[in-house]
Amino acid sequence: MKWFLISIVGLFISCAVCKEKKSNGNAANSEELSTEVLDTIVQGDFGRPISEDAMIGIEGIVRVNKNGCPVLIEMVEGDLFSIVYPVNLAVQFQVDGLKIGFTYTLNSAMLVDGCQADKIISVTDVKIK
């Protein structure tokens, strides 16, 4: 009878340990998922990873003094519309309504106070379209 009770207690303890390990594994997976989602949000693309190819040959329309920014570019990447703040757009291209083609990289500069843009970028290879 004593061995029977010891066996039952051992069975319950082993089940509790297995259940605890399983729940900890799920917590780790959800933590990884949260980090992945956060990285996507920080990129500003909401599920669409930014690749170098996606930043080449973009076309946009320059807007001056709009949304609280000295200069903006309204652009479409695939099916996504974005308003971006170019930190280094040359003065000759800062004409409201001007259609330009360019290549860009993301920039970590701060936005101007009151400026509302989806991304901050540095532009290169700017051409009038």
pTM of model > 0.85: no
Q: How does pLDDT run across 10-38, given as a tens digit for each residue? A: 655 665 555 555 544 544 444 444 444 44
Confidence at 77, pLDDT banded by 50, 70, 90: confident
Residue 1, token pair as written in the block: 């009878």
State whether 73 and 94 are in the same domain: yes
Q: Identify any residues that bridge with 64 across adjacent strands, giving them in sequence order.
A: 71
46, HSE (Cβ side, Cα atoms, 13 Å): 6
| Residue numbers of the domain that contains 81 | 52-128
**Phi and psi dihedrals of 10, rounded to 5?**
-60, -40
Confidence at 62, pLDDT banded by 50, 70, 90: very high
The shares of helix, strand and coil residues in the chain, as percent rounded to the nearest 5, are 40, 35, 30
State whether 57 and 27 are in the same domain: no
Q: How many domains does the chain have?
A: 2
